[in-house]
Amino acid sequence: MRFLDHILWGLLSFFLVLLALVSAGHALINKRDPRSALGWILTSLAMPLLGPLFYWGMGVNRIYSRARRWHEEAAPPAPPLPPDSLPSASLPPELSYLRELRNLSEHVVSTRLLPGNNLTPLENGEEAYPAMLAAIDRAEGSVHLCTYIFDGDDTGKRFVMALSRAADRGVEVRVIVDSLGEKYSNPTARELLKGSGVRFRRFLPLRPGGYLNLRNHRKLLVVDGKLAFTGGMNIGSRHLVASRPPVVKDLHFQVTGPVVTDLQRTFLEDWSFAGGAQLSGPRYFPELVPTGSALVRAVSDGPDKEFRKLNWIILGALSCARRRVTIVTPYFIPDRPLISALITASLRGVAITLVLPEVNNLPYVQWASRSYLWELLQQGVRIFAQPPPFVHTKFMVVDGSWSLIGSANLDPRSLRLNFEFNLEVYDLQFARLLEERCQATLELSRELTLAEMDGRPLVIKLRDATAKLFSPYL
């Protein structure tokens, strides 16, 4: 009996040692950050059972593999797109110094940089919603709407009625709402649209297994394949600042020109992933004529992609900046490469202006964000806090020449975990419009100082630093 006990204990010890070695070896080979690799190696070897369990439960990044697997399970592979007949547009002489940034985007994004586009900023729901509703009412062939949140309030019901009317007159109407974002509303858009001719899909219906991540955070409206709207605005009365009290300020954009094809393509890829039919042809992709002077590239990013496209493009833009960079974002939780890029640009003499909300709708995100600011302030980055209500606007402008707009925030959730849609724009006039809006905002905002960050009470510093520990998950 004792001999059998010795064998069992020996086998158990052998299994624990083998598990610890396998876990440590996996971390050594697969972890890109050597500090993270060393930490997990020591954890696995020091705690032969608990260490490996922690590593396989929390240390292994399954975001990419899950997203790819769910894409493959949800729909068969899409047929290859016809080859584009034209190469990406060349930069005009005044923007030629950005050719390295253009080359970077060419390598990480499959879409082309297209000329002849026009982008019109629409401020808050008061400007955006009437334009969107009018476009739906004029639709003749198709209306495609993708949004993270679709509230069942008065504004949401106006969109439900417009979408239903379009479907009743024979327009193909398709709506995608993220299944987590859907939970923000009661009644839901799905319930309000029930019985209408609108075809509705939820993106990744919630179920056990980590579905709180991998959300579709895109905001797209494409009408007849010719007119589009995108930006950071969801559907709901919270974006009407004339309401009392106002809840959210935001900026959306109307888009016309050849790049609308890529917005349509992104929606239809999501529609196929959500269980809808694969759609193509001139009905959805009509020939588009130039409507403006902007060179625009669509950047559709998500955890199923091989590259962290947005992250690399943002870092590339900072490295190309010569004079000034303006960043407006509601959520700012930077990783070390982004902090290094901002500081490096500032030390090169680039004037960096970062604009954040004074009061965030997610307090724990604001706590974590504040813990990063002292390091940037110390190296000359100017940081401003916009007064309430909460400002959800997001854009980036480099040298009054290049702009980035869309749904992504500067946080791990947007840059690593969510499906996002942005546009990079090479256009002096459009960049000037955004910078002018930012300048008007700065006149009403409060500049943060290093003394203010250093003067936080100890309990506040501890709170902010604790929130910072959870930055990768916020």
Which pTM does this prediction carry? 0.86
Read off the DSSP letter of residue 46.
H
pLDDT value of position 274: 86
pLDDT value of position 246: 74
- What amino acid occupies position 319? S
Element (H, E) at 364: helix 363-378
pLDDT value of position 60: 55
In this structure, the strands spanning 446-447 and 227-231 are unpaired
Exposed e or buried b per residue across 263-302, where buried means at least 16 C-beta atoms within 10 angstroms of its C-beta: bbbbbbbbbbbbebeebeeeebbeebeebbbbbbbbbbbb
Helix 363-378 × helix 336-347 angle, to 10°: 40
Q: What is the pLDDT of residues 202-221, one digit of tens each?
A: 988 766 444 566 788 999 99
Which regions of 209-367 does DSSP assign to beta strands (E)?
220-223, 227-231, 248-249, 251-256, 294-301, 324-328, 351-357
Q: What is the pLDDT of residues 61-117, one digit of tens each?
A: 554 555 555 555 555 544 444 444 457 788 999 999 999 999 999 988 889 999 999
Domain limits, the chain: 21-26+36-54, 74-79+116-294, 309-473
**Bridge partners of residue 227, in order along the sequence:** 223, 256
pLDDT value of position 223: 98
Low-confidence ranges of the chain (pLDDT < 70): 1-6, 10, 27, 30-40, 49, 54-86, 206-213, 304-307, 472-474
Report how far residue 66's alpha carbon sits from residue 308's, in angstroms, rounded to the nearest whole number: 16
pLDDT value of position 474: 63
> Contact at 8 Å (CB) between 109 and 308?
no
- Two tokens, residue 108: 């990480």
For 309-473, the fitting CATH number among 3.30.565.10, 3.30.870.10, 3.40.605.10, 3.40.50.970 is 3.30.870.10
pLDDT value of position 301: 83
Is 309-473 in the same CATH topology as 74-79+116-294?
yes
> Contact at 8 Å (CB) between 149 and 216?
no
**What would be the CATH architecture of the domain defined by 74-79+116-294?**
2-Layer Sandwich (3.30)
> Contact at 8 Å (CB) between 107 and 235?
no
